[in-house]
């Protein structure tokens, strides 16, 4: 009898599954399809396999003959999912306590069988609290249990909003996690322009006071502009930041760029400190130009413009984030085909600055040469590479391809968990 099985059937979203088909005709061609309802939208994938001499297909061993992904990938049917619509669609249910349920269907001729693959974002005991206090806007996910736990504060990039999925997953892995919004969410400015760093200092203080983290450990984690931000915060408030995790970060202060308030323009200030704008790399830069982006073919590649600014050493010197002031371990994650900005080069500069300063803490750089800008976390669809920017609306490519971005999602998350485990152990 034809059968498809998933082991384990129910687990956290970052757990790889073993998907196997048995009972097929030896050496027959079978089709496997996936269907997931994500926030009301259907995402699907399909692949065709050849059964072995025992009538078995094992996705941890076998590559498809054809379909939506190539090569051996245990979770290829998940990361290769697509929705067939224009624009970006959410990958998670609005209520993160509701798991993502994928139906897997195998067909051989007239025979078929189904199985379910259920991904959760909130482990048993994790709780969610909205934060609307003292001007802060975010969501706190508390790790399960009554014992003290370390904490992480998470910031999004130029898309704005509140990164609840990542906070839920951090909490599920044992960290109190505050997803802190700073623009692009209800109760916050619409744009990134003129964001005061003191807002995040207040967030760090509130998080410490509220969850009383184990060993007073509070890491900060940010993506893209959030990656730039966490390096800035670690440099500006070193006594309040225990560790820094920068996903596709920048080594330099940048202006408002794609998420800027039109009143100030993309070359206007992004970050303020003590009421003054931080000098960014476009300020008085002799060579910085938006022309390669503005005149580029669709979908546009923002990194082409970013490279022009790197021709002015003096502007780079002034706008460089003084990462040597960070008083804790630093982890950098980058993609070699980053369409937004050269996060691999930026990460190299950050690492070099820290090593040259004989940084007293571990420095890790995890570069994925063929990945793009959208390095998220594992076993989610990696097919949304080209999209209209959520703030300025320009059609933009983030770079990479689904296969390599999916590999980066998986590998980087495991590296982050290992990094945090070591950082918290060293704090003892």
Q: Over the stretch 98-127, which tens digit does the pLDDT of each residue have?
A: 999 999 999 999 999 999 999 999 999 999
Q: Looking at the structure, tell me whether residues 289 and 339 fall in a common domain.
A: yes
Q: Which of 338, 343, 353, 412 is catalytic?
A: 338
pLDDT tens per residue, range 12-23: 999 999 999 999
Closest to 407 measured CA to CA, from 386, 364, 376? 376
pLDDT in tens, 339-381: 999 999 999 999 999 999 999 999 999 999 999 999 998 999 9
Pick the catalytic residue: 224, 334, 343, 412? 224
Pick the last residue of a domain from 120, 153, 181: 120
> Are residue 360 and residue 255 in the same domain, yes or no?
yes
Phi and psi torsions of 173, nearest 5° = -100, 15
- Residues 172 and 152 both lie in one domain: yes
pLDDT value at residue 426: 87
pLDDT value of position 29: 97
3-state per-residue secondary structure call for 11-51: EECCCCCEEEEECCCCCCEEEEEEEEEECCEEEEEEEEEEC
- pLDDT > 90? residue 38: yes
DSSP states of 152-216: EEEE--TT-S--HHHHHHHHHTT-EEEEEE-SSSTTS-SS-TTEEHHHHHHHHHHHHHHH--GGG
Cis bond upstream, residue 299 (ω within 30)? yes
* Alpha-carbon gap, residue 184 to 187, rounded angstroms: 9
Cα torsion 123, 40, 107, 28: sign: negative
To the query of whether residue 95 is one of the catalytic residues in this protein, the response is: no
Domain check: are 195 and 50 in the same one?
no
Q: Is the predicted pLDDT of residue 393 greater than 80, yes or no? A: no
- Of all residues in the chain, the percent with pLDDT exceeding 90 is 94
Are residue 165 and residue 131 in the same domain, yes or no? yes
- What tokens were used for 5? 């099985």
Among candidate residues 83, 254, 280, 373, the one labeled active-site is: 373
Residues 69 and 200 in one domain: no
> Would you say 399 and 339 are in contact if contact means Cβ atoms under 8 Å apart?
yes
- How much of the chain is helix, strand and coil, in % rounded to 5? 25, 30, 45
Q: What is the pLDDT of residues 82-100, one digit of tens each?
A: 998 877 899 999 999 999 9
**Do both 361 and 410 map to the same domain?**
yes
Do 93 and 137 share a domain, yes or no? no
321's tokens: 């984030």
Q: How many domains does the chain have?
A: 2
Which tens digit of pLDDT belongs to each residue from 150-167?
Answer: 999 999 999 999 999 999
Measure the CA dihedral 134/169/36/339, to 10°: 80
The C-alpha atoms of residue 47 and residue 77 are separated, in whole angstroms, by 8
- Report the first-to-last Cα separation within the chain, whole angstroms: 55
* Domain termination site, one of 91, 120, 149: 120
Helix, coil or strand: residue 296:
coil
* pLDDT single digits (tens) 170-185: 999 999 999 999 999 9
Give the pLDDT band of residue 297 (cuts 50, 70, 90). confident
Contact assessment for residue 393 and residue 385, using Cβ atoms and an 8 Å cutoff = no
Distance of CA 247 to the CA centre of its chain: 7
| pLDDT level of residue 387 (50, 70, 90 thresholds) | confident
285 sits in which H/E element = none
pLDDT for the residue 361: 97
Separation between Cα atoms, residue 260 and residue 265, nearest integer Å: 6
Six token digits for residue 104 = 């897997």
Q: Which residues of 40-61 are buried (b: 16+ CB within 10 A; e: fewer)?
A: eeebbbbbebebeeebebebee
Cβ-count burial 320-339 (b if 16+ within 10 Å, e if not): bbebeebbbbbbbbbbbbbb
Domain, as residue range, for 108: 3-120
- Of 73, 96, 120, the residue at which a domain comes to its end is 120
User: CB-hemisphere CA count at 13 Å for 158?
Assistant: 31
pLDDT at residue 366, rounded to an integer: 95
For residues 168 and 293, membership in a common domain is answered with: yes
pLDDT computed for residue 272 by the predictor: 98
Q: What is the domain-level CATH number for residue 79? A: 2.60.40.2240
What confidence tier does 140 reach under pLDDT thresholds 50, 70, 90? very high
- 322 and 360: one domain? yes
Residues 369 and 283 in one domain: yes
Taking each helix axis as running N to C, give the angle between helix 225-236 and helix 197-211, from 0 to 180 degrees, rounded to the nearest 10.
80
Q: Is 224 a catalytic residue?
A: yes
Read off the CATH number of the domain in which 421 is found: 3.40.50.1820
Same domain, 156 and 207: yes
């Amino acid at each position: 009898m034809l059968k498809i099985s998933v082991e384990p059937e129910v687990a956290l979203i970052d757990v790889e599954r073993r998907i196997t088909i048995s009972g097929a005709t030896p050496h027959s061609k079978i089709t496997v399809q996936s269907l997931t309802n994500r926030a009301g939208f259907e995402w699907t994938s399909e692949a065709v396999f050849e059964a072995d001499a025992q009538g078995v297909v094992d996705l941890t061993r076998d590559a498809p003959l054809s379909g939506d992904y190539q090569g051996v990938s245990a979770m290829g049917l998940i990361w290769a999912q697509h929705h067939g619509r224009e624009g970006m669609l959410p990958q998670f249910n609005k209520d993160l306590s509701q798991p993502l349920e994928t139906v897997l269907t195998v067909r051989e001729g007239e025979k078929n069988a189904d199985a379910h693959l259920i991904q959760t974002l909130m482990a048993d005991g994790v709780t969610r609290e909205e934060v609307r206090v003292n001007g802060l806007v975010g969501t706190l996910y508390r790790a399960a249990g009554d014992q003290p736990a370390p904490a992480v504060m998470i910031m999004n990039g130029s898309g704005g909003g509140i990164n609840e999925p990542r906070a839920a997953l951090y909490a599920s892995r044992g960290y109190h996690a505050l997803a802190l919004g700073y623009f692009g969410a209800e109760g916050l400015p619409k744009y990134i322009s003129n964001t005061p760093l003191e807002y995040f200092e207040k967030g760090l203080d509130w998080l410490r006071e509220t969850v009383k983290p184990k060993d007073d450990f509070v890491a900060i984690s940010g993506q893209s502009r959030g990656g730039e931000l966490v390096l800035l915060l670690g440099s500006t408030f070193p006594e309040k930041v225990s560790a820094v995790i920068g996903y596709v970060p920048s080594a330099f202060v940048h202006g408002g760029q794609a998420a800027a308030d039109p009143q100030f323009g993309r070359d206007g200030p992004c970050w303020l400190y003590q009421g003054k704008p931080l000098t960014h790399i476009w300020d008085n830069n002799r060579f910085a130009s938006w022309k390669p982006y503005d005149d580029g073919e669709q979908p546009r590649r923002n990194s082409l413009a970013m490279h022009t600014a790197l021709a002015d050493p003096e502007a780079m010197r002034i706008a460089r984030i003084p990462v040597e002031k960070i008083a804790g371990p630093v982890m950098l994650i980058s993609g070699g085909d980053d369409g937004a900005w050269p996060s691999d080069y930026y990460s190299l500069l950050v690492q070099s600055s820290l090593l040259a300063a004989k940084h007293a803490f571990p420095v890790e750089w995890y570069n994925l040469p063929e990945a793009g800008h959208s390095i998220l976390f594992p076993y989610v669809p990696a097919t949304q590479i080209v999209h209209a920017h959520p703030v300025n609306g320009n059609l933009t490519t983030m770079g990479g391809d689904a296969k390599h971005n999916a590999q980066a999602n998986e590998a980087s998350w495991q590296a982050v968990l290992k990094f945090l485990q070591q950082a918290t152990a060293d704090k003892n």
